[in-house]
Chains A and B, each alone.
Chain A
Amino acid sequence: MSLYTERMILSRDQLIGMYQTMQRIRSFEEKSSELYTKGKIGGFLHLYIGQEAVGVGFISALKEDDYVIGSYRDHGQCIAKGTSTREIMAELFGKSTGISRGKGGSMHLFDVKRGFLGGHGIVGGGIPVAAGVGLAIRYKKTDQVVICFFGDGAVNEGAFHEALNMVALWKLPVIYVLENNLYGMGTAAYRASSIPDLIRRASCYDIDREQVDGMDVLAVREVAERTIYKTRTDKEPRFIEAITYRYRGHSISDPGAYRTREEIEEWQKRDPIMRMENYLKENSMITDDEIKAIREEISAEIQDAVEFSENSPFPSKEELYTDIYA
């Protein structure tokens, strides 16, 4: 038996931890959506609801000093990397206690302490940056890895192809995770790609690749363990396509007229949190009372994050000119 399958034996605590993180993300996003309609949060708001298993499955398999880089749909990954819901919610409120001191907003979460490198607002913008992070890891000769998340829309950007070629050419420890939620904004992925099977995009760069059910956190975790182990060991890039689905619109202002209610409901039947909950119950690892307790605890945590954000001050006027040097 190879090393990575041995490592895939997860403790009850680890399993419940993944369940909790997914639940925390779901509750955080639902609360954000509600607060947006109340005008507490402005700008764009891209929710991670439905995709929780991808971020949690991968990030839970990382070491603390590994790096994560994301797109504008970044709340879930930032939570999974360990940033507190207080700091993220306060950022969405534009408060000085936010993780980016209120200056970044929903799309630009950064957490240097926890290795979360953004929060990138332009489609595909983080993909070449991840190559640079991989370059620095190799340069410093550490055994870290970086995971870069992006959506199906991003594979059609030139930046994607430039970066994939470079990480493969130079053998950089970068794991690219394509979160294929089937739609780039309102355009179905198959309408935007000459090959519907997006994992093949990695094949011409000869990058080791694998597809996974992004609605199943255990399947994701298993692929993540294997992938991270391999990349940490041989320092070579990997490409994973996670098939997933976003329940909400591209952003909160997207009515989503391009897909049917039935399609959404069909995907919701495979809800990653529900599946994990069933798995834990079937294996007698959790009771209904414990589930209830977890939900209540998370609900209280999110409520605390909201209160913390409400009570935090906005940045002072002087902050307008801090961190600008030219």
Chain B
Amino acid sequence: MAANITYREALNQALREELQNNPDVFIIGEEVAQYGGAYKVTEGLYKEFGPERVVDTPISEEGIAGCGIGAAMLGLRPVVEMMTVNFTLLAMDQIVNNAAKLRYMSGGQFQIPAVIRTPQSLGLQLGAQHSQSLEAWYAHVPGLKVIAPATPADAKGLLKSSIRDNNPIIFLENEMLYGTKGEVPEGELFIPIGKADVKRQGKDITLISYSMMLIQAMKAADTLAKEGIDVEVLDLRTLRPLDAESILASVKKTHKAVIAEADWKSCGMGAEVTSIILSGAFDYLDAPVVRVALAEVPMPYSKPLEKAAIPTADDIAAAVRKIMGKG
């Protein structure tokens, strides 16, 4: 049995199930309780589980992150909501210097089973300080696991796995995806962290993507199929650790790769994936690896400029055609 639900509902289900499953799980963040979450992901949970397990906070991101980390040191399993990824910048010290390092530098005495959930967003004219993708920042740090699901099923299964994981996790949701629907199996659903997923089988070229850009990649693949180009779409789902095995298996099969990412190209996720391909499948490549990414500017507010800065399915399709010699 599966239900057709939104990404938002899938996350809400995962939270509810894990709150029910383990009394050590609690939610903490700005507007998560009485308001129901700025993006309504925690809606209804405060009513069901009460103020000790769904905790509203002041606007104090560094404090909130620290509370999650400290509680995790004593074995609780906090799910910290940061209202948007932009605000995680105020909590960077706690996340990078504490969450990521405490297990290692304590010689394994402490574990940090904390999940930091936060949405990224692009394309909503929110301006430069509210439209950015910082996945590569977090994926750069040893000691953090970074997850970026694109579908409701992956959102649910990965969030449940994250809450049960004993290490700190940056769980990147996406405002553009909250309202999207998909089939989600009912009951317990766990998706392994660190495993990419082939979202569409193909033989001509590998299109690697994740999160909101995966939706564009799938659209591009549909368009290209009509033109006779058989695209394999690989959804990374976990950005650290990256699933090198799945990336290489697909590229060895198709001999070509395009990466579609919603972050900046310089030192971005695509650079890391490209490096994996070049060192593990260089001899299999028939063409250079190409990245489709954001324009390297702070996001402009003005609609036409913003549109020009964010890659679309058409941009991805054009990059694929060019490599296939059909552009």
The interface of chain A, by Cβ under 8 A from chain B, is 42-44, 91, 94-96, 98, 100, 102-108, 120-125, 153-154, 156-159, 184-187, 191-193, 258, 314-315, 317, 319-321, 324
Contacts and interface: CB of A to CB of B under 8 A. Distances in A.
Contact of A121 (B127, B303, B305): B127
A95 B31 CA distance: 34
B249 interface: no
A321 B309 CA distance: 10
A121 B129 contact: yes
A187 B35 contact: yes
A105 B301 contact: yes
B31 A44 contact: no
Given A94-B125, A191-B56, A258-B35, A157 B90 contact: yes
Contacts of A91: 301
Interface stretch (B13-21, B150-158, B236-244, B292-300): B292-300
Contact of B35 (A42, A95, A186): A186
B30 interface: yes
A111 B181 CA distance: 43
Contacts of B57: 192
Contacts of A191: 56
Interface size class of B (residues with CB under 8 A): 35 or more
B303 A314 contact: yes
A156 B90 CA distance: 12
Interface in B27-58: 30-31, 34-35, 38, 56-58
B305 A320 contact: yes
Contact of A184 (B59, B89, B303): B59
Contacts, number: 129
B125 A320 contact: no
Nearest to A154: B59
B125 A105 contact: yes
Contacts of B272: none
A94 B302 contact: yes
A74 to B, nearest CB: 12
B127 A108 contact: yes
Interface string B276-303: 0000000000000000000111101111
18 contacts: A42-B301, A42-B303, A103-B305, A104-B127, A107-B129, A121-B129, A122-B89, A122-B90, A122-B129, A123-B87, A156-B59, A157-B61, A158-B90, A193-B58, A314-B304, A315-B302, A320-B300, A324-B298
A236 B127 CA distance: 35
Nearest to B93: A158
Nearest to A191: B56
B164 interface: no
Nearest to B303: A94
Interface of B: 30-31, 34-35, 38, 56-63, 86-87, 89-90, 124-130, 295-298, 300-305, 308-309
A44 B301 contact: no
Given A105-B127, A320-B297, A321-B295, 18 more contacts: A43-B125, A91-B301, A94-B301, A103-B300, A105-B301, A108-B129, A124-B59, A156-B59, A158-B60, A159-B90, A185-B38, A186-B34, A187-B34, A192-B58, A315-B305, A319-B302, A320-B300, A324-B297
Nearest to B86: A122
B98 to A, nearest CB: 15
Contacts of B56: 187, 191
Given A102-B302, A324-B298, A187 B31 contact: yes
Given A43-B125, A104-B128, A108-B127, A258 B34 contact: yes
B222 to A, nearest CB: 28
B45 to A, nearest CB: 15
A78 to B, nearest CB: 15
A121 B308 CA distance: 22
Contacts of B302: 94-96, 98, 102-103, 105, 314-315, 319
A47 to B, nearest CB: 16
A157 B65 CA distance: 13
A151 to B, nearest CB: 9
Given A122-B90, A187-B35, A44 B305 contact: no
B297 A42 contact: no
A234 to B, nearest CB: 32
B59 A157 contact: yes
A121 B127 CA distance: 9
Contact of B304 (A105, A107, A185, A317): A317
A20 B249 CA distance: 69
A184 B58 contact: yes
A121 B301 CA distance: 13
Given A185-B35, A186-B31, A320 B308 contact: yes
Contacts of B309: 320
B61 to A, nearest CB: 8
Contacts of A157: 59-61, 90
Contacts of B129: 107-108, 120-122, 125
Q: Which of B87, B124, B130 has the most CB of A within 10 A?
A: B130
Contacts of A258: 34-35
A157 B57 CA distance: 11
B59 A108 contact: no
A102 B59 contact: no
A326 B33 CA distance: 42
A125 B301 CA distance: 19
Nearest to B35: A186
Contact of B30 (A100, A154, A159, A187): A187
